[in-house]
A and B are shown apart, each in its own frame.
Chain A
Amino acid sequence: MAIIKLALKSLYNRRATALLTVFAIAVSVSLLLGVERVRTQAKESFANTISGTDLIIGARTGPVQLLLYSVFRIGNATNNISWQSYEDITKQKSVKWSVPLSLGDSHRGYRVLGTNNDYFKYYQFGQSQPLQFHQGQPFNSLFETVIGAEVAQKLNYTIGDKIIIAHGAGSTSFTKHDQMPFTITGILAPTSTPVDKTVHVSLSAIEAIHLGWNNGAPPVTGSVNVSTIDINTLKPQVITAALVGMTSKIRVFQLQRMVNQYKQEPLQAIIPGVALYELWSMMGIAEQALVVISGFVVASGLLGMLTMILASLNERRREMAILRAVGARPLQIFMLMISEAGILALAGALLGIATLFSMLAIAQPILQEQFGILITISLLTVYEWQLLGLVLISGLTIGVVPSIRAYRMSLADGMTIRV
């Protein structure tokens, strides 16, 4: 106990260098834990976005791209599926349910998804959790909309509010479908998936707001009369993608083959889990590089500590002689040095944890907003504790080097003061 007190006081006496060492370790520890946390949680957040869907069908691109634009609302579709093909494929007996998705418009930066009410019935996320309405109900007539939790919260919308949809996916758009405002009929409960950031309307509504558009150019003012739109004539021509649920898992591959070999137009069907895995293995190298780099940063932090302790050794030979003279054993000199290393490593680790949590608190909204990755600020996991333990053990192990030197010095010098 007396030894640890001595170590603390000695470190306090050299607090400038000791603090720098602690900061170096803290930065490295927070980087290590931060990388680990973002890595695992991003994976989890991605994997939790879609569940219960057996196949995603879209135009032929790559599996990852289809997954990204249809589920994560990242990027845009290069091509569409005709409604005819969609109906043709989904009338198969093995198809239990299907949900059409139509993307391309936005509301103040939030993507607008054209779909039908089956979406609220069949879309699942996390561990097979269905979507739930926080308030209101699904859309029933043409100009009604259901918004995600984040849209409602950020834009301060409630049931009954009217919103205008803009053409294109940007957050600022010069062409707005402003003669056709939508009334909010429902607000979904938060899901921590891109659903929260989506404005849902019916497929017919998507058709309605694009009436009179020609080759991507808006209609001439006054050419479309809103009051005369007949809901029955609004048959969608194309959709962006479709989610499909199967009656049995064995049929998934059958339908996938059928879609991939579909003669009428180039389509593809992907299994969400497989595409997620593919997406993840693409990021795997970067991810591993980050882990390795953060490991090296920890090593350099600890080496900095070793340098600091070793550099102080020579000027502390006098101190050791004094301690030997008052009765300290060489083993106690060893303990003094090693507890200094331990204290530095421990302080570094604790400060690192504090840094981690403050960084997470700052980064959390940014990650959620920019990348749709939800990082929960939770207590340290067992694995993170193990990492911390490893840092401490490494610190102590490195501390053995100067401690053995000090031990040898104190044996050799005895009480001779060498300056």
Chain B
Amino acid sequence: MPIIELNNVKYRWPGSSNPVIDIEHFSIEQGDKIFLKGPSGTGKSTLLGLVAGVNLPDSGEVKVLGHQINSLKGRHRDHFRADHMGYIFQMFNLLPYLSVTENVCLPCHFSKRRRSKALAQSATLKAEAQRLLNDLQLGDELIHRPVSELSIGQQQRVAAARALIGQPELIIADEPSSALDTDARESFINLLFQECKRDNSTLLFVSHDDTLSPLFDKQVELSKINQTCGAL
């Protein structure tokens, strides 16, 4: 069963007549590490919004883990996202007023499922957060610093730990490494792979940077599946 499946999905921004997304079919299998390539302005973030259930398509269906999420009610979509998806932004991922571990534990306050899964791994949420952070090569010394004192690379690894806590089935990373330099980029991606493999999570990695694509199992070009791009 594909973990993500889009059929005849069309989406246009409110007030605009041309759709930004027009995808006939797109699917991802469970456990895959997908590299979704697209230059900016091709509707990447919109597509991720559709998958995450924040945006609703004008027509067509979006299925995640077999659930047609575009027919769920708003609060159920939010709940579904909390339970099954981890999300990493390009930058500024962390809440400045929370500590590193509090940032990592954040999804467990919105999802009981992820909370109990995290507690099945470690005795406390804090211990599980520390385990993940250590796995992502953030030492105990860094963990106790205020979030604002961490480097961007360190912040992205904290964000990765937050996406991974409670083992969600799907990790979505929206250009998570574009603010990192080349060395940090590769090591970040390798650490992410390692953790996804451990939890058998699917990784949807979005980037405009072609040099990363060989590291992944599969590569998809957004312009190939999104028919609006051809028309531009």
Contact = CB atoms under 8 A, between A and B. Distances in A.
Given A415-B48, A415-B49, A325 B89 contact: yes
Contacts of B89: 321-322, 325, 415, 417
A191 to B, nearest CB: 57
Interface stretch (A158-166, A209-217, A327-335): A327-335
Using C-beta atoms within 8 Å of the partner chain, give the interface range for chain A. 20 to 34
Contacts of B212: none
Contacts of B81: 325, 327
B213 to A, nearest CB: 24
A220 interface: no
B19 to A, nearest CB: 17
A415 B52 contact: yes
B54 A324 contact: yes
B110 A319 contact: no
B5 to A, nearest CB: 21
Contacts of A330: 74, 78
A322 B90 CA distance: 11
Interface stretch (B57-65, B91-99, B185-193): B91-99
Contacts of B7: none
Contact of A10 (B45, B48, B97): B97
A326 interface: yes
Interface in B80-122: 81-83, 87, 89-90, 92-98, 102, 106-107, 109-111
Contact of A326 (B48, B54, B74, B106): B106
A318 B45 CA distance: 15
B10 interface: no
A62 to B, nearest CB: 64
Given A10-B97, A318-B92, A415 B75 contact: no
A417 B110 CA distance: 20
B97 A327 contact: no
A322 B93 contact: yes
Q: A6, A329, A330: which has the most chain B beta carbons within 10 Å?
A: A329
B82 A12 contact: no
Sort A-B residue pairs by CB-CB distance and give the 6 closest, nearest first: A327-B82, A13-B97, A327-B110, A414-B54, A2-B109, A325-B87
Interface of B: 45, 48-49, 52, 54-55, 74-75, 78-79, 81-83, 87, 89-90, 92-98, 102, 106-107, 109-111, 162
